[in-house]
Chain A
Amino acid sequence: MSAYRNSKARAVRDGRPGSRRAIGLGVLGVLLGIGIIAAVSATTAQASSPNTGLPADKAARQQVAIDSARNKTGHLPSKSEVRSQAQAQAMANAAAVDADPAGATAGLTPGIVEQRQGPFSAAEFSVTNMYRAPVGARWLFAFAGATRDENGQPAQGAMRVYQLTASGAYTFVGLYPAPSGTGALRVSAGAGTVLTLATDSGRSLTFDLDGLSYH
């Protein structure tokens, strides 16, 4: 019992300086390890530009473009000057918009537009073509095609419709799946708000932009 007590007391008494040394050495070891990582990281980082995250060849190419467009005049307006000019320009633009009630829709003509691009990825909806027409106070844009599944494969024939108002707001109206089994859709003709759709399956459908429904 007393031997136990004595040994424990000795450990406490004699061991404390040893523990401090061990802790100190451990900390030194950790710092050494961090130093190794920092050195390796610095070596790796040399391959890329620190500000842009670009590899050296791409960063160099970007620099050539920057140099080729360097300011030749030496004069640059201040931020406040730019803000003042912008206010004046905004007022002039507002007056021009007031004078033209068609606004963002000016210059649009109704009809079929042969394009596949839409404000969405071709990976989620493949467009065959598009039809646009004014309906009331807005313009509608009806994309004919087919939805795609997550793997990018065709899923179901559908119309995807957007609208643009004179104020310039362009928004999604809705997705209108065709009756099942029709395959991808194509606008083959349009008269006003009524579209004739050809389908992959050989069927013919009509789609009414007024009611946004198939017939």
Chain B
Amino acid sequence: MHSPRTTVARLRQGWATLLILTVGATVAVLGVGAAPASAYPGKPLTEFSFYVHTTNTTTAYNLGCNQGSFDGTHGLTASRVTLAYGVQKSNLSGNILTGTGATITRAQVEAVAENLALGYYACSPLNSTLYLNLGTNNDNSTETSSMGNDWGNVVHDVNNWISGHAAQVLVQGANDMEPGFAASYSSTLAWANGYNGNSNAGLYLNFGSADGCPQTTHTNGACNNGWNQRGLWTLSWNIAAAICAPEIYYTANAKQWEQIALYGGTQGNTSHYIAVWDEYDLNTATLSPQGAWDAFLTQLYSNSTTASAPLYSMEIHNE
């Protein structure tokens, strides 16, 4: 039997135990779970994407081999490369390449992608995966649903070819969707819906811009040429096939895409971004890969609903 004094002492000890446990748990939760807004993850290694200028399959193979070697050297288990082929021709026979205006046939589009995949397979370690995005853009004033659907067929064709000739490469679509290009928003949306309607096509990556969009508000504000925040959110995330690597060339771009993500939040579907896209190699007046990452992540982590880090840092180069 305990004396009253001992009982009081045990009661005090119990309360003290509870207090210490509570304080410890609180410290841990506050310390780990609610990191300061500025504490975003570091930039992953930057991977190169390319404006395609030639149809040379050896060049494509070497680009893939370079990426495979890079992944092996750095121990990467996943990387992402976009080939930008320029605008699709309305008759679906091929593309008009960015920069030169030269024509590339649909068969050449596929051959370049297949050889890059082959090069990657040949030179990569066994445990890595390359996500290869085949990119077009919306610089066609008559962008249509059929064009989107057909680009999905191109993606499927290449995936089909790869399955019998290589491995470790997964092809997806891509589109450099920009309000400043020739297609209107409704035409661009038609393309996206056409791609989305092709069930064999998988995902497409929007690696475009948000020209003229608001930087401080997310109330479906206007962007250039009749586009708006809702339109960019739709094309970049809300469509089931859409993922996005926004062009972050200036700090203003980081703010624009953050506001688009927040606009998505008002619609119950906050945008998330798979990569940060820069063009420092082509224009050193724009943000470097690290600068683009910091600018964008600062914005994303300024709000708990958008505080999620992209998986990749992508930089466009000339082939």
Binding site for B on A (CB under 8 A): 22, 25-34, 36-37, 40, 51, 53-55, 57-58, 61-62, 64-66, 68-73, 75-77, 79, 82-83, 86, 89-90, 93-94, 97, 104, 107-108, 113, 115-124, 126, 130, 132, 139, 141, 148, 150-153, 162, 164, 168-172
Contact = CB atoms under 8 A, between A and B. Distances in A.
B47 interface: no
Contact of B209 (A51, A89, A122, A170): A122
B211 A164 contact: no
**Nearest 7 pairs between A and B by C-beta?**
A29-B24, A33-B28, A122-B180, A65-B202, A69-B159, A152-B211, A33-B25
Given A37-B28, A123-B209, A76 B99 contact: no
Given A104-B54, A141-B99, A170-B100, A152 B180 contact: yes
Tell me the interface secondary structure of chain A in the complex.
mixed
A33 B249 contact: no
Contacts, number: 239
Interface string B37-79: 0000000000000010110111101000100000000000010
Contacts of A124: 249, 283, 286
A11 B201 CA distance: 73
> How big is the B interface, by class?
35 or more
Interface in B72-104: 78, 86-87, 96, 98-103
B24 A33 contact: yes
Contacts of A115: 87, 96, 101, 139, 182
Interface of B: 16-17, 20-29, 32-33, 51, 53-54, 56-59, 61, 65, 78, 86-87, 96, 98-103, 118-119, 121-123, 137, 139, 155-156, 159-160, 162-167, 170, 172, 176, 178-182, 199-203, 209-213, 215, 223-224, 240-241, 243, 247, 249-253, 272, 274, 279, 282-283, 286, 311, 316, 318-319
A162 to B, nearest CB: 6
Given A32-B28, A93-B56, A150-B250, A76 B167 contact: yes
B28 A29 contact: yes
Given A58-B243, A66-B170, A117-B137, A123 B249 contact: yes
Nearest to A61: B240
Given A69-B162, A97-B56, A120-B282, A113 B101 contact: yes
A171 B318 contact: yes
A39 B17 CA distance: 24
Contact of B122 (A33, A82, A117): A82
Given A32-B28, A58-B243, A76-B167, A122 B181 contact: yes
A186 B17 CA distance: 79
